[in-house]
Amino acid sequence: MSEHWVGVDVGGTKVLAVRIDEAGDVEATATRPMPGRAAGAEAVEEAVALAARDVYGARPPRALGVSAAGLVDADGERFLFGAHLPWRDTPLRRRLAERTGRPVVVDNDANCAAHAELLAGAARGVRSALLITIGTGIGGAVVLDGRVVRGAHGLAGEFGHVQVVPDGLACECGLRGCWEQYCSGRALERVTRVALGRHLDGPEVTALALAGDEVALQSFASIGTWLGVGAAGLVSAFDPELVVVGGGVSAVGDLLLGPARTAMRGSLQGTAYRPVPELVPARLGPEAGAIGAALLARDGRS
């Protein structure tokens, strides 16, 4: 009988599971509500196990991958911190392995998404790339020489909290002027509120922008410009072949990526004399983290 693997993405609002076959193709998906940070670790771990069970039924997978929004240590053993998740320096890999009775690998959600985009998405065949995911905040991953780079402590790629404005806007992380305060779903809402004088949520601003509304287009131009400025800094640091932009806010496409490309080019030195990487949309959508986790379960965490 053919083998299969399961990936589960644990985000702030939902737990999403996918089952993949040996080729990496998705065979089944399932979603469960995220019990919430306040519900505690046990409740969230149970939701992970149940979502996994939803996609594998009576045939347990060879291994289980878990993609989690937050800081995961270098060995993939401990979940250190995530604003929307209940674990604090918790031995998550072992706890989930005990609960499910299967081998488990754990990684940061952006690292998982990067692994998926690298193997089966926008960065297929690319040796060096940056992934920038724009949702409520900014997530990121660095791919060099065909591998996701995790850093000395597993914490590389936290682009959202790079300071871009000294003494700038206050961030949930406690710092000021973090990049995600200027380029994120929250930033989109803030910029729109300032221009309109009333609150609209991200999907509403997106719908207006797609309908050609001038204020909404300006909001996307603002966060797109910040996206390009920040991306240019990362391109200067890593010299990637490709910059892949994912996350819910990027669903608007070129209304965001157009201003970003212009700003990125304008913020890089020597553009007439150097290759400027393409800035492209991610391909795997909201399932990227879960698919990447399943692929890591299949391939092992390198």
Based on the shown chain and the rule CB under 5 A, indicate whether residue 143 belongs to the binding site for Zn ion: no
Query: Quick check: 104 and 300 in contact, CB under 8 A?
Result: no
Based on the shown chain and the rule CB under 5 A, indicate whether residue 171 belongs to the binding site for Zn ion: yes
Query: Cα separation of 156 and 143, whole Å?
Result: 11
In the bound complex, what is the minimum distance in angstroms from residue 225's beta carbon to Zn ion? Answer: 19
In the bound complex, what is the minimum distance in angstroms from residue 92's beta carbon to Zn ion? Answer: 23
Based on the shown chain and the rule CB under 5 A, indicate whether residue 187 belongs to the binding site for Zn ion: no
Q: Which of 26, 28, 41, 173 binds Zn ion (CB under 5 A)?
A: 173
Measured CA to CA in angstroms, residue 198 lies from 136, 166, 224 at distances of 19, 28, 21
Binding piece for Zn ion, criterion CB under 5 A, among 61-69, 91-99, 153-161, 283-291: 153-161
Based on the shown chain and the rule CB under 5 A, indicate whether residue 106 belongs to the binding site for Zn ion: no
Q: Among residues 173 and 195, whose Cβ is nearest to Zn ion? A: 173
Query: Quick check: 134 and 252 in contact, CB under 8 A?
Result: no
Binding piece for Zn ion, criterion CB under 5 A, among 1-9, 47-55, 166-174, 256-264: 166-174
Query: Cα separation of 129 and 132, whole Å?
Result: 10
Based on the shown chain and the rule CB under 5 A, indicate whether residue 175 belongs to the binding site for Zn ion: yes
Among the listed residues 125, 69, 61, 123, the one whose alpha carbon sits nearest the alpha carbon of residue 92: 69
In the bound complex, what is the minimum distance in angstroms from residue 161's beta carbon to Zn ion? Answer: 4
In the bound complex, what is the minimum distance in angstroms from residue 8's beta carbon to Zn ion? Answer: 27
Copy the structure tokens of residue 3: 């083998």
Contacts of 96 (CB under 8 A, 6+ apart): 45, 48, 49, 64, 66, 104, 106
Q: In the 8-state DSSP scheme, what is residue 170?
A: B
Q: Which of 178, 231, 252, 293 binds Zn ion (CB under 5 A)?
A: 178
In the bound complex, what is the minimum distance in angstroms from residue 171's beta carbon to Zn ion? Answer: 3
In the bound complex, what is the minimum distance in angstroms from residue 110's beta carbon to Zn ion? Answer: 15
Query: Cα separation of 213 and 205, whole Å?
Result: 9
Judged by CB under 5 A, the number of residues near Zn ion is 5
Q: Among residues 74 and 175, whose Cβ is nearest to Zn ion? A: 175
Based on the shown chain and the rule CB under 5 A, indicate whether residue 161 belongs to the binding site for Zn ion: yes
Query: Cα separation of 225 and 218, whole Å?
Result: 10
Interface residues with Zn ion (CB under 5 A) are: 161, 171, 173, 175, 178
